[in-house]
Amino acid sequence: MSTPKDFNDRMLSLGLARVAEQAAIASADWIGRGDEKQADQAAVNAMRNELNKLEISGVVVIGEGERDEAPMLYIGEEVGSGGPGVDIALDPLEGTTLTAKDMPNALTVIAMGPRGSMLHAPDVYMDKLAVGPGFAEGVVTLDMSPAERVAALAAAKGCEARDITVCILERPRHEEMIAEVRSTGAGIRLITDGDVAGVMHCAEPHITGIDMYMGSGGAPEGVLAAAALKCMGGQIYGRLMFRNDDERGRAAKAGITDLDKVYSRDEMVTADVIFAATGVTGGSLLPGLKREPGWVETQTLLMRSRTGSVRRMVYRNPH
């Protein structure tokens, strides 16, 4: 899909950065306060308010849930004050638990692309595999075992398996995967939440120390992660996972007919996008909010896939 001329990513990008910033600032009062719902609601309210100031005709394709599950920023909600048609994928607070417990790597995350450019992923699990830039396409695949993936990536990097570090979401369903990866000698960084950030870590291994991400997590977060890697470089593969007929019905409602399809990065995000993420709690990718009397400081990662530009923007806001 070519990028329409009316999708002015350069002009829209600064507005998108502000959307992420304001959502992060709104959640500041809830860091470490133990209330996930209030932290998330504060971010949702702020993100929606800022989106409605942008001169776009936006549709939320990845959001807080179906319309009957989420009162705001639900899938299909229209936002903006009018302008070019755009798809929006967002997570107003990726890591609500991380925020409530003041643990690392909570982010506000949003991506925007031309209308029809993003996979309408149903709210089911997705089996994900991601590596950073600089490797041949398909250097690792979802059809490989975890051990085979480690071996293939080590061979591509010209190193030993023990020099590879894999990021995996710490869940009981991943216990066998974790054991198999460790049997190769590779290291694992376990994360408790926030797998968009987990995938993004692969794109900057020199900073984060992470070479590969694998495991299952939310499909909507897979599309957000694909948007990030479209800007940062790298590969991600995802295959939807279904536990029951209700989840297969969600896929049908989203227009998905091939339930076994493996989606590549460019199939999840088919045109150029812009992506913004603001740190809420400090982590490997971004520092967290810094509070001083009367002020709050944020740092935002703002990226455009068309140009490959990656900006880190510091913003001081009276608060």
Ranges of each domain in the chain: 9-116+273-318, 125-268
Q: Which residues contact 72 (CB under 8 A, 6 or more apart)?
A: 44, 45, 48, 64
What is residue 23's predicted lDDT score, i.e. its pLDDT? 97
Cβ neighbour number for residue 141 with a 10 Å cutoff: 13
What is residue 4's predicted lDDT score, i.e. its pLDDT? 65
**H or E stretch including 78?**
strand 78-79
Q: Where are the alpha helices (H) located in 195-306, listed in sequence order?
A: 195-201, 205-208, 219-232, 245-253, 265-268
What is residue 287's predicted lDDT score, i.e. its pLDDT? 96
The pTM (predicted TM-score) of the whole model is: 0.94
- Token pair 């967290």 is found at 288
What is residue 10's predicted lDDT score, i.e. its pLDDT? 85
Tokens for 266?
Answer: 């460019």
Cβ neighbour number for residue 200 with a 10 Å cutoff: 32
What is the rounded CA–CA span in Å between residue 47 and residue 41?
Answer: 10
* Same fold: 9-116+273-318 with 125-268: no
Q: What topology is assigned to 125-268 in CATH?
A: D-Maltodextrin-Binding Protein; domain 2 (3.40.190)
Quick one: CA torsion of 71, 76, 82, 84, rounded to 10 degrees? 150
pLDDT along the chain (319 residues), means of 10: 72 95 96 96 97 96 84 93 96 96 96 95 94 96 98 98 98 98 98 94 94 96 97 97 92 90 97 97 94 92 94 90
CATH number for 9-116+273-318 (one of 3.40.50.2000, 3.40.50.720, 3.30.540.10, 3.40.50.280): it is: 3.30.540.10
**What DSSP state is assigned to residue 255?**
T
Phi/psi for 311 (5° steps) reads -115, 145
Tokens for 254?
Answer: 């989203």
The Cα-based distances of 17 to 25, 29, 84 in angstroms read 12, 20, 18
Tokens for 98?
Answer: 């991380």
